[in-house]
Structure formats: C-alpha cells, structure tokens
C-alpha cells in the first residue's frame, strides 16, 4: 500500500445529498490526482447549530500489478452558526507546501464570510456555472466576485471547459488566409440552445459565455442603445468601429432523443461577398456539422467528432493548471457588460 498526496482538494456543498453525490466523484479525481480531500457540507439553515467531522481512507488500484494507492478524505458538516468558524477548521487541514484547489459545488456562487480566508488560501477555485439557477444574473454577479478578488483568488469555470470544442471549431472556421478577413465583417451571430430539457439552463449559460468570448476576442463593445438584452431571447447589440453586430442567444425547441444536446452557432458576414459560417450538433451527442457558405462559391460541409467532457474529467484537467485564465475572465466580463441594465 502506498500513501499518496499531491494536493489538497476542498469541496464545498450545501446539503447532505450533495455531499454523498460528490463522494463518488472524488474517488475518480483521486485516481488521476492523488490528494487529501476535504468535503465541507455547510447547511446554513439547519438546527441545532453544530460541527462534526470524520476521516477515512480511499484506496485505488491504478493498474494491474501496481501498488494500492490510498488517499485521505475528511468529511466536515457545519450547521447553522457553526459555519462562521469553518476557516479555522479547514485551513489547518490543508497539506503544507502543496497546491490547494477549492471546488465550489453549491450552485450560485455566494460564499459565506467564513469561506473568504479559504478562497484566498486556494491555488485555484473551481466553479461550474452550469449549476447557476439564473445564468444571466448569476454570471453577472460572479463576474463581480472575480473582479473584486482579482490578484488574490484565481477562478475557473467547468462550464467554460465544456465549451472548448465549440470554441475550437469556431476558430477553425477562420484559420485560413481566405476566411480570416470575414471576422472583421461579421454583422450577426446566432447561438441556439435546446429549451425543453434538463440541459437548457446549462446551455443558456454556455451561449452567453460563447457570445462573450467572441465579443471580447474581436474587440466588440456593448452598444449603449442596445435593445433590452437582459431578457431571455432578446438580442444584444454591439459595435466595432462603425460596424454594428447583433448577437442572439435564443432557445430552440428540438425533436431529439438526446435531451439538452441540440445547439447551433451561425456567424454571418456582410460586405460585397457575404458569407455564413455555421456549426450544428448532430443527432448524436458526439458529432457536429460545420458549414461554410461564401457568396458565389459552392458550400463546404464536414462532420466532426465532439468528445464528451464529463465533470470529473473537467476537474482533473483544471487541476493541471494553476495560473489565471485571462481569456475566460475577459469573456465573463463581456457577459456582465452585455447583460448589465441599460446595456
């Protein structure tokens, strides 16, 4: 048996059921990233107030013939007023000299005051905006936290990681010398997400982040005379020099057996030679079709594979990095600007 620890992983949840759910996920994280896991269950409205803790060992066999690897897991439950002292309990349990990752797995990001010292002690804080109950409002509020704690806390978003294949496909549309000029002529972006499934909320947040990414990378700015972008389905108006760009993030009803996986992106360029670049998820969860239509030329279409990114894989990938993701921060700030009242 080999005891192994490369980092401290603090997981924050807000009810007992979420604590049980995360236990299975932690086992999978430990296979790739041996760690001391500290699962904090903070039941804010529970009574009577109190604090309890227990420790256990989690052991795995990485591969046939290799030694059994065991990691420590500490389970802490704080109820009511006891939450105020969480930092005094959690910080001493962090392994000295090793990176600390805080995984916020509690929906809307609204940390209690006692979590602030833990946030500042973390190498990186992982959130998942897919769990935000009101993506438009919650992303704007989260952007405020990121801005407020800049220089002290490094944030990352698992939902941003889920968008990586889509961002790569969009970028590939403009990789060539022939298509790159169309970026400076974009006038309309349409992002559609499925509206009648458990994945609809996830995709709403993704559509906003994708829009924010495009706008921030291309130097677009929210137009002051924009239509009411705070309402779901209403377009956002942006400007780049003297050019206006319209972005729509809209729900779409889809007839598919793969609930929550219907999404499409279309980018339209104006000028003397108008063009449209589009991506649409296929009937299965693992494929997408890209299409390029340039005036006066036959359309070009191809089918590409989309590799699904499960939660544990996203966490393991984020643990590999310690630095800031400035591209994400700028995309998030753009979402906040686009959805701000009066924008």
SS (H, E, C) the chain: CEECCCCEEEEEECCHHHHHHHHHHHHHHHHHCCCEEEEEEEECCCCCCEEEEEEEEEEECCCCCCCCEEEEEEEEEEEHHHHHHHHHHHHHHCCCCCCEEEEECCCCCCCCHHHHHHHHHCCEEEECHHHCCCHHHHHHHHHHHHHHCCCCCCEEEHHHHHCHHHHHHHHHHCCCCCCHHHHHHEEEEEEEEECCCCCHHHHHHHHHHHHHHHHHHCCCEECCCCCCCCCCCCCEEEEECCEEEEEEEEEECCCCCCCCCCEEEEEEECCCCCEEEEEEECCCCCEEEEEEEECCCCCEEEEEECCCCCHHHHHHHHHCCCCCCHHHHHHHHHHHHHHCCCC
The model's pTM is 0.90
Q: Taking all residues of the chain, what is their mean pLDDT, rounded to a whole number?
A: 89
Most confident option among 100-114, 225-239, 282-296: 100-114
In tens, the pLDDT along 207-249 reads 999 999 999 999 999 986 555 445 566 899 999 988 999 999 9
Average pLDDT, integer, range 88-96 = 97
Residue 67's pLDDT is what? Answer: 75
Average pLDDT, integer, range 171-181 = 94
**Local confidence band at 198 (pLDDT 50, 70, 90 cut-offs):** low
For residue 147, pLDDT over 70 is answered with yes
In tens, the pLDDT along 245-263 reads 999 998 887 665 444 445 8
Which domains occur in the chain, in start order? 2-122 (no CATH), 162-339 (3.30.360)
Residues 204 and 135 sit within 8 Å (Cβ to Cβ): yes
Residue 199's pLDDT is what? Answer: 58
Residue 232's pLDDT is what? Answer: 61
10 Å CB burial of residue 313 (0-12, 13-18, 19+) is middle
CA distances from residue 171 to 164, 245, 261, 267, 300 in whole angstroms, order as listed? 11, 18, 21, 11, 16
**Local confidence band at 186 (pLDDT 50, 70, 90 cut-offs):** very high
Residue 263's pLDDT is what? Answer: 81
Torsional class of 311: left (φ above 0), alpha (ψ -120 to 50), beta (otherwise): alpha
Lowest mean pLDDT among 3-7, 26-30, 63-67, 121-125: 63-67
| Sequence-distant (≥ 6) Cβ neighbours of residue 312 within 8 angstroms | 25, 28, 29
């Amino acid at each position: 048996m080999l005891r192994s620890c490369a980092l401290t992983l603090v997981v924050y949840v807000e009810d007992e059921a979420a604590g049980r759910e995360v236990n299975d996920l932690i086992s999978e994280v430990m296979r790739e990233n041996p760690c001391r896991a500290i699962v904090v269950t903070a039941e804010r409205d529970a009574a009577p107030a109190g604090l309890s803790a227990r420790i256990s060992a989690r052991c795995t066999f990485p591969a046939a013939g290799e030694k059994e690897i065991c990691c420590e897991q500490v389970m802490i439950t704080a109820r009511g007023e006891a939450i105020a002292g969480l930092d005094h309990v959690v910080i001493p349990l962090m392994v000295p000299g090793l990176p600390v990752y805080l995984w916020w797995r509690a929906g809307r990001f609204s940390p209690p005051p006692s979590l602030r010292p833990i946030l500042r002690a973390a190498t990186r804080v992982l959130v998942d905006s897919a769990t935000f109950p009101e993506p438009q409002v919650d992303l704007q509020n989260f952007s405020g936290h990121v801005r407020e704690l800049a220089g002290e806390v490094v944030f990352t978003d698992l939902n941003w990681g889920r968008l990586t294949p889509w961002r790569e496909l969009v970028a590939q549309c403009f990789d060539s010398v022939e298509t790159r000029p169309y970026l400076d002529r974009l006038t309309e972006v349409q992002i559609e997400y499925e509206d009648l499934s458990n994945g609809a909320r996830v995709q709403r947040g993704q559509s906003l982040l994708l829009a924010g990414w495009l706008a921030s990378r291309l130097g677009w700015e929210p137009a002051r005379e924009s239509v009411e972008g705070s309402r779901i389905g209403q377009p956002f108006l942006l400007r780049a020099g003297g050019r206006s760009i319209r972005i729509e993030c809209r729900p779409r009803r889809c007839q598919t057996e793969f609930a929550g996986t219907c999404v499409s992106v279309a980018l339209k360029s104006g000028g003397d030679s108008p063009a449209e670049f589009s991506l649409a998820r296929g009937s299965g969860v693992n494929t997408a079709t890209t299409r390029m239509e340039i005036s006066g030329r036959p359309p070009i279409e191809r089918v590409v594979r989309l590799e699904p990114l499960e939660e544990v894989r996203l966490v393991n990938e984020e643990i590999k990095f310690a630095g800031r993701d400035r591209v994400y921060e700028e995309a998030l700030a753009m979402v906040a600007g686009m959805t701000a009242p009066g924008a």
